[in-house]
Amino acid sequence: MTKQLRKFSILGAAAALSVVLAVPFAVSTTAAEAPVTEVRNQGVADAPDVDRGLEFLVSDYETRVPTKYTADSWAPFAKALTTASDVADDTSATTSEVADAKTALMTTAADLEAADEGTFQTITNNTFWNDTSGNPIYSQGGGVFKFGDTYYWYGVHYTGAESYRANPTQKYDNQVSFVSIPVYSSKDLVNWKFENRVATRSTGVGDGANLGGAGWVGRLGVSYNENTGKYVLAVQMWHTSRGGHGVLLLQGDSPTDTFDYGYFQTQITNSPTTGTGDQTVFTDDDGKDYLIFSNREGRSRGFVAKFRESDSLRIEPGVEIRRGDGREGNAMFKLDGKYYHAASDLHGWNTSVNYVNESTSSNVQGSYSSEYVLAGTEMDYSHVTQTGFFVTVNGTKQSTVIYAGDRWADFAWNGIGYNQWVPITKSGARPQFHSVSQWQFNVTTGEWRVGPANNYILNPDIQADRIIVSSVRGWRNLGGSVTNVNGGVNGSRFALQISNSGGVEQRRESVPAGTYALGLHARGSAGRVVITGANGSQRTLSIPSSSGWAKRELTGIELPSGAVTVTVRASGSGGVVVDQLSLVKTSDDDPPLPGQRYEAETAPAVCDGTIDSNHSGYSGSGFCNGDNAVGSVVQFTVTPEAAGTATLGVRFANGATSARSANVVVNGTTVGTVSFEPTGAWSTWSTKSLNVPLNAGSNTIRLDPTTTAGLANIDYLDVGPGA
């Protein structure tokens, strides 16, 4: 209860702070600068001002090689490319002919199907990212948009980003001077090539004003307009000589063009005030684009607004889809046919859980559920980020949404790296956020897996809470005194201090079997870290007292798959201070994979019914008593290391007099049926075994009853090694 109250007061303080922060944006140093005379379309040194219209797109698409794609998908693309090339050469072609040629080219390119299975590329968080030329990626508060077969990433480059990267051991409050809006391109969403600066400080914003004179530039996205053939960039802007707060619309002839002024719209109909709170652009499956935003003052309402059909140069009236507590970082994703509006607390670029409202109709502007916290964002406040934007990849094997989190210098000082991207998959009824520090993604199949250098400890740098607290995110207090203190190792902001013989623990539900190394930096009095595996095995790392920071490490920790608990304790009344904890797999060869048990009562398992414990003999803390109805499923999410046929063991009890049968659905496909015969009593348990094909990495296994009797009671699922 004390913890609850404290939490509320923190949120209250932060929300109040955010209102104050909204003003500093407006009085940042840029606003004070003398207006610069507008220079239209000024080229930048490293990007020649070439014609980036249809000809440019044609020359880009002419580099595609037919053997890399299926013949069926190549044929329409080749046809569209020939037409586009003819239109590009035809000096008398009309605007609409050019637009049609572009649309056909991009549509057929988007439908190109790779002839192979693609490859896994590694995404490493908690680092500063570089582009393919080795230069820093400075891209904040933007979005990734797929035009044709290429992903384009737009965002804002601020001066504070450079300061933080050069010296990430302090805050750089209010260093939000606008530098430019760079655009990067990628085919795999991992390797990003710098293309151009679509807007710079000299970009005109109407009435002779330019972006350099704006008090704030941020939160943007791009819409392709089929009628004009233009790419329209919607940017949140505050500019005193342009009437205050609003949405700036710039447009270009290709995704990487140098964009020009289109319109500045201060008021969106139905929003109580001018401008937007935060905004992103969401592109639906049908290519229609929407501005997702909250209102600027208070941010208590969420809106979805269309871009004007004819040219995308106006934002149509907003449709309110949520109202309640103030939210920002508003962004939308779509997964398995449902729309999810996600947003953060009002922490001004600081860390937050993600709050989701999900659509209850098939209309993006229709009704939405009340808000809930996106599972997986609570332990470390969304991998120590604020909501940035989402990228949905519908691969040949699965759909994965990339959560692109924003961890930035200004107001934050929350660790290394600005862009923290993690996968979101559907696990049962709701989406699940996977807080991984390293992962691998295959853009062709949509599959992902945890990376070899992943740190299994959440909030390892003790930065998630943003402020001094006595109960740190992700770590449960075990008594004594616990607090985060200023002055972490290597100039980081916080460390964790435990004194008065106290301790904290963190439990992770599923780590893969293997050999692990535990590491941390410590100073102060003596303490210890105990790591406990799913089989009860324990290893202890002693921490001797030390006046300065010292690195401590314990290697060769054998862990079976399943839950792991890491406990940090102070040996006596003195305080032990720890920071940068890590639990990383060093080898997965030994011990041999023992198979893994997934309890029905443990997330990410889903039980359409209740978790009961009234019939003895179950393992863990209970079993799933599914509702007696068709559609009341039990679903497990399993993560085998290798693809292949796996032997499953389903432990069940059926105290009824007739058998209950279910379809076995793996990754959405029914692969067989299973019959759960009567076991004589609800407390008599039996195991059914079946063989199913599994991918490496995340898989869903669902038992879907075939009759209204529903399922038997389900205790757990064992996944054996590949056969």
| String of DSSP letters for 365-401 | TS-BPPPEEPBTSTTTHHHH-EEEEEEEEE-SS-EEE
Which distant-in-sequence residues (6+ apart) come within 8 Å of 716 by Cβ?
597, 598, 599, 600, 619, 620, 650, 651
User: Taking CB within 5 to 8 Å according to partner kind, which of ligand GCU, Ca ion, none is near residue 344?
Assistant: none
User: Taking CB within 5 to 8 Å according to partner kind, which of ligand GCU, Ca ion, none is near residue 571?
Assistant: none
Minimum distance between the CB of residue 566 and ligand GCU, rounded to whole angstroms? 35
Whether the CA torsion 390, 184, 283, 272 is positive or negative: it is positive
Minimum distance between the CB of residue 609 and Ca ion, rounded to whole angstroms? 6
606 close to 654: Cβ distance less than 8 angstroms? no
Minimum distance between the CB of residue 660 and ligand GCU, rounded to whole angstroms? 8
**Measured from the CB atom, is 73 or 683 closer to ligand GCU?**
683
Distance, in Å, from the CA atom of 114 to the CA atom of 530, rounded to the nearest integer, reads: 48
Question: Any bridge partners for residue 504, and if so which?
Answer: 477, 568
Which distant-in-sequence residues (6+ apart) come within 8 Å of 106 by Cβ?
57, 147, 148, 224
Distance, in Å, from the CA atom of 383 to the CA atom of 463, rounded to the nearest integer, reads: 10
User: Taking CB within 5 to 8 Å according to partner kind, which of ligand GCU, Ca ion, none is near residue 263?
Assistant: none
User: Taking CB within 5 to 8 Å according to partner kind, which of ligand GCU, Ca ion, none is near residue 656?
Assistant: ligand GCU
349 close to 382: Cβ distance less than 8 angstroms? no
DSSP state of 451: -
**Measured from the CB atom, is 456 or 676 closer to ligand GCU?**
676
**Measured from the CB atom, is 525 or 625 closer to Ca ion?**
625
User: Taking CB within 5 to 8 Å according to partner kind, which of ligand GCU, Ca ion, none is near residue 682?
Assistant: ligand GCU
In this structure, which amino acid lies at residue 529?
Answer: V
Minimum distance between the CB of residue 653 and ligand GCU, rounded to whole angstroms? 8
Query: Token pair of 670, please?
Result: 């029914």
Residue 717 backbone dihedrals phi, psi, to 5 degrees: -125, 125
Query: Token pair of 459, please?
Result: 């909030």
Whether the CA torsion 539, 544, 546, 551 is positive or negative: it is negative
267 close to 286: Cβ distance less than 8 angstroms? no
**Measured from the CB atom, is 57 or 607 closer to ligand GCU?**
607
Minimum distance between the CB of residue 661 and ligand GCU, rounded to whole angstroms? 14
Distance, in Å, from the CA atom of 138 to the CA atom of 183, rounded to the nearest integer, reads: 10
Question: Shortest Cβ contact with ligand GCU: which residue?
Answer: 625
Minimum distance between the CB of residue 700 and ligand GCU, rounded to whole angstroms? 23
x/- track of binding to ligand GCU for residues 561-600 (CB under 6 A) = ----------------------------------------
**Measured from the CB atom, is 200 or 713 closer to ligand GCU?**
713
Q: What is the dihedral of CA 617, 620, 625, 631, to 10 degrees?
A: -130
**Measured from the CB atom, is 446 or 609 closer to Ca ion?**
609
**Measured from the CB atom, is 568 or 634 closer to Ca ion?**
634
Minimum distance between the CB of residue 437 and Ca ion, rounded to whole angstroms? 40
User: Taking CB within 5 to 8 Å according to partner kind, which of Ca ion, ligand GCU, none is near residue 454?
Assistant: none
| Number of residues near ligand GCU (by CB under 6 A) | 8
Which residues within the stretch 681-720 sit at the binding site for ligand GCU (CB under 6 A)? Answer: 682, 710, 713
**Measured from the CB atom, is 73 or 684 closer to ligand GCU?**
684
Residues that bind Ca ion (CB under 5 A): 625
Minimum distance between the CB of residue 81 and Ca ion, rounded to whole angstroms? 58
Residue 56 backbone dihedrals phi, psi, to 5 degrees: -65, -45
Which residues within the stretch 359-378 sit at the binding site for ligand GCU (CB under 6 A)? Answer: none
Minimum distance between the CB of residue 616 and ligand GCU, rounded to whole angstroms? 12
* 591: preceding bond cis by omega (within 30 degrees): yes
Closest CA to 326 of 722, 718, 15: 15
**Measured from the CB atom, is 465 or 608 closer to Ca ion?**
608
Residue in the structure block whose two tokens are 């009797």: 709
476 close to 506: Cβ distance less than 8 angstroms? yes
**Measured from the CB atom, is 512 or 710 closer to ligand GCU?**
710
Distance, in Å, from the CA atom of 580 to the CA atom of 582, rounded to the nearest integer, reads: 6
**Measured from the CB atom, is 386 or 625 closer to ligand GCU?**
625
**Measured from the CB atom, is 273 or 679 closer to ligand GCU?**
679
DSSP state of 45: T
Closest CA to 336 of 427, 434, 426, 396: 426
Residue 474 backbone dihedrals phi, psi, to 5 degrees: 85, -15
Minimum distance between the CB of residue 409 and ligand GCU, rounded to whole angstroms? 54
Residue in the structure block whose two tokens are 């989402």: 390
Question: Shortest Cβ contact with Ca ion: which residue?
Answer: 625
Minimum distance between the CB of residue 676 and Ca ion, rounded to whole angstroms? 11
**Measured from the CB atom, is 213 or 626 closer to ligand GCU?**
626
Closest CA to 382 of 464, 470, 302, 462: 464
Distance, in Å, from the CA atom of 246 to the CA atom of 488, rounded to the nearest integer, reads: 40
x/- track of binding to ligand GCU for residues 621-660 (CB under 6 A) = ----x--x---------------------------x----
Is residue 344 a contact point for ligand GCU (CB under 6 A)?
Answer: no
Minimum distance between the CB of residue 677 and Ca ion, rounded to whole angstroms? 16
Minimum distance between the CB of residue 509 and ligand GCU, rounded to whole angstroms? 24
Distance, in Å, from the CA atom of 699 to the CA atom of 668, rounded to the nearest integer, reads: 9
Q: What are the strands, taking DSSP E only, across 226-276?
A: 230-239, 244-252, 260-265
State the residues that interact with ligand GCU by CB under 6 A.
Answer: 612, 615, 625, 628, 656, 682, 710, 713
